Amino acid sequence: MWHKIRNTIAATALFFIAFTPISLAEEPAHNHEPKAKGLNVGEMIMHHISDAHEWEFAHGVAIPLPVIIYTADRGLEVFSSSHFYHNPVAGHEHVYKHEDYILEHEHIYRATASGEVDKSVQVWDFSITKNVASMLLSAVLLVLIFGAVAKGYATNRGKAPKGIQAVIEPIILFIRDEVIKPSIGVGYERFAPYLLTLFFFIFINNLLGLIPGGANLTGNIAVTLVLALLTFIIVHISANKHYYMHLLKPTGVPIALLPIMVPVEIVGVFMKPFSLMIRLFANITAGHIIILSLLGLIFIARDLGGAGTGLAVSPLVLVFTLFMNLIELLVAFLQAFIFTLLTSMYIGSAVENNHEADHGH
């Protein structure tokens, strides 16, 4: 059973890895203007790690997404993003116009009568962008996966797990027994649902970001900010009086040092979620940038030395790209694990009876 599962996962991973260079190396599908000779590697990288109003899977293959905007004078307006990308503004890259609105580098503005950007009108953008669509997709996948796991528990009660249950159960038990329980101690059960959801949400979105055409959701700082903010709120809602007393009067600190230590402790309260936010964002984004930069070397070599030079460096670049993709598979799990571990530790420090308490007591 495990042999078949391992082979299936390996085959799937190799399929995605093999086709990643093809997908990532393409230029934007909605760029209809003539470009100068050579690929702008920096622009290509930013295009693939940034959010967009359409979901591009490969060159020429993109799904338009709903544009939902609100203005005070017109109210709510809904239309397809294809109206933008099919109407490029001549002489301006990545600028598109639809009726009285302009999409400039993925920001929507009202257009003046002369066709210029009118920043005096506030346009509230509630569109289903690529990152939002990817987040909804991951939510659906999580519901389907864990619905199947729950059904497996009901069907195989008292028996050995089978199918998807056999794959997911060891991960659940590992996170519960090796991360959540040791970090929080007594009373960990009430935090386990949130922490398990947090781990699998980050993990599955990290994996989706590695699929060719996938969105860089966990590499979006707004997403990591919300995850860190949720941890901050849960920690401080659940914290007991010992936690807050420790902030105002750290144990064992002489009174003379309190004017120094208390501000340090308070700053530390905000630095913890800040570090969670930056760590996840930076690690996921850096991995994508490295892979895209390696692929960009092929086009740089082609522009400098011709097609033969580009072909000559391709095998070496491919080897390094495959290696980085394998590393990214490890990072996908590792970053979800670290985020969950640190969140568990922060919750544990806030709910223990005192700071010298033994979790096992």
pLDDT tens digits for range 74-102: 999 999 999 998 888 887 878 899 888 99
Residue 133 — φ and ψ, nearest 5°?
-65, -40
pLDDT interval class at 37 (50, 70, 90): low
Greater pLDDT, 190 or 251: 190
Residue 57, exposed/middle/buried by CB under 10 A (0-12, 13-18, 19+)? middle
Specify the pLDDT at position 331.
Answer: 94
pLDDT interval class at 348 (50, 70, 90): very high
Specify the pLDDT at position 281.
Answer: 95
Specify the pLDDT at position 199.
Answer: 97
Assigned token pair, 94: 């990545």
pLDDT at residue 61 above 60?
Answer: yes
Task: Give the mean pLDDT of 131-160.
Answer: 90
Specify the pLDDT at position 4.
Answer: 47
* Residues 180, 344 contacting (CB under 8 angstroms): yes
CA distances from 18 to 22, 60, 135, 163, 232 (A): 8, 20, 25, 27, 40
pLDDT tens digits for range 229-269: 999 999 999 998 888 888 887 777 777 877 888 888 889 89
Q: Report DSSP state, residue 92.
A: -
Cβ atoms within 10 A of the Cβ of 91, count? 7
Specify the pLDDT at position 28.
Answer: 39
Task: Give the mean pLDDT of 26-50.
Answer: 62
* Residues 250, 265 contacting (CB under 8 angstroms): yes
